Amino acid sequence: MRILLAGATGYLGSAVLPALLLDGHQVTAIAGSDDALAVLTAAGASAIRGDITDSALLSRAAQDVDGVIHLFAPGGQVTDALDNAVVSGVLAGLEGSGKPYIHSAGMWVHGSGILDEDSPFDPPELTAWRPGIVERVRAASGIRNVVVSPAIVYGHGSGVVRMIIDGPQVTEPEPTLLFPGSGDQHWTSIHIDDLATFYSAALMRAAPGSYYIAASGDNPTMREIATAASHTLGLGGRVAPEPAEATRRRLGLIEGAFRLDQQASGERGRRDLDWKPIGPSLLDEITTGSYARRV
């Protein structure tokens, strides 16, 4: 298939693009700069020089392909305006075609809890704008509209997990890594390479109007994540909670998202899409994998 991949130069795109190519698809992506154009071309994609918020450009590009996948924007700086611009362009270009459109939402569209695809939306302030766009995509007709909410994505030494590993430390009485929240909150997770195969499976098998949580079923607590990071950093596993006010000043609205207590199994994706996660766990990736190699 010929696939238009929005967000191809971002963190998720670094895994999804090669996975699509490996499956035999031809990938076209929007390049917002000459550097991005060079990166995409070198990776094996066809690149269109332009702005991802240009709805008219996206509409024309969508008409020329067999399907569209919208990942988070490069750098993760997704906003209401950007997402709406992408959705407007893609839906206009695919209208009445029956072609697949896979839209990315994210676990933070939900609140805390043991979550599945039927759980209500209850986002923190950071992503309060997102449910309306999700419902807009799911309400679209005449296309194979699919929404995927990835769990916390980790691997390749990057992603939001890096913010925990690189978090603040105190030196007294002993060097200690600080973490956001109480430490009891769970982070439901998925390895970036497993997420890439999830998108590939959804592209081929997901039904119109479907919604999936892409999760491995591994749900470590923040204290467990921070303790693994502390060992990797040579701090002997010493961790402590950072005061909420300090985290909020340091990180802004993402502090509220980091405090969410979320667990998910990803069972529906396994069953419907014939998908199976095989990547290392989040804790293993921190202690012996890509994060350990980048300390």
The domain of 122 spans 2-156+188-218+263-279
Verify that 67 and 98 share a domain, yes or no.
Answer: yes
* Domain assignment present for 287: no
What CATH number should be reported for the domain holding residue 99?
Answer: 3.40.50.720
Please list, in sequence order, all residues whose beta carbon lies within 8 angstroms of the beta carbon of residue 157, skipping any fewer than 6 positions away: 290, 291, 293, 294
* Domain assignment present for 284: no
Q: How far is the C-alpha of 214 from the C-alpha of 148, rounded, in Å? A: 7
* Domain assignment present for 32: yes
In tens, the pLDDT along 248-268 reads 999 999 999 999 999 999 999
Query: Is 179's pLDDT higher than 50?
Result: yes
Q: Is the CB of residue 7 less than 8 Å from the CB of residue 78?
A: no
DSSP string, 140-183: --SSEEEEEEE-EEEBTTBSTHHHHHT--EE-SSS-EEEESS-S
* Domain assignment present for 59: yes
Sheet holding 239-241, edge to edge: 169-170, 176-179, 239-241
In tens, the pLDDT along 28-50 reads 999 999 999 999 999 999 999 99
Q: At CA 67, angle to CA 65 and CA 70, rounded to 5?
A: 115
Verify that 108 and 170 share a domain, yes or no.
Answer: no
Domain count, the chain: 2
Verify that 16 and 121 share a domain, yes or no.
Answer: yes
Verify that 131 and 275 share a domain, yes or no.
Answer: yes
Strands (E) located in 189-267: 189-191, 210-214, 239-241, 262-264
Tokens of 91: 């839906």
Query: Is 158's pLDDT higher than 60?
Result: yes
* Domain assignment present for 209: yes
Verify that 165 and 143 share a domain, yes or no.
Answer: no
* Domain assignment present for 290: no
3 state DSSP class of 103: strand
* Domain assignment present for 245: yes
Verify that 51 and 151 share a domain, yes or no.
Answer: yes
Verify that 79 and 95 share a domain, yes or no.
Answer: yes
In tens, the pLDDT along 90-148 reads 999 999 999 999 999 999 999 999 999 999 999 999 999 999 999 999 999 999 999 99
pTM given for the model: 0.95
Q: How far is the C-alpha of 155 from the C-alpha of 242, rounded, in Å? A: 24
Verify that 83 and 29 share a domain, yes or no.
Answer: yes
Verify that 112 and 178 share a domain, yes or no.
Answer: no
Q: How far is the C-alpha of 117 from the C-alpha of 266, rounded, in Å? A: 9
Query: Is 59's pLDDT higher than 90?
Result: yes
Verify that 169 and 214 share a domain, yes or no.
Answer: no
* Domain assignment present for 294: no
Verify that 226 and 250 share a domain, yes or no.
Answer: yes
Verify that 37 and 101 share a domain, yes or no.
Answer: yes
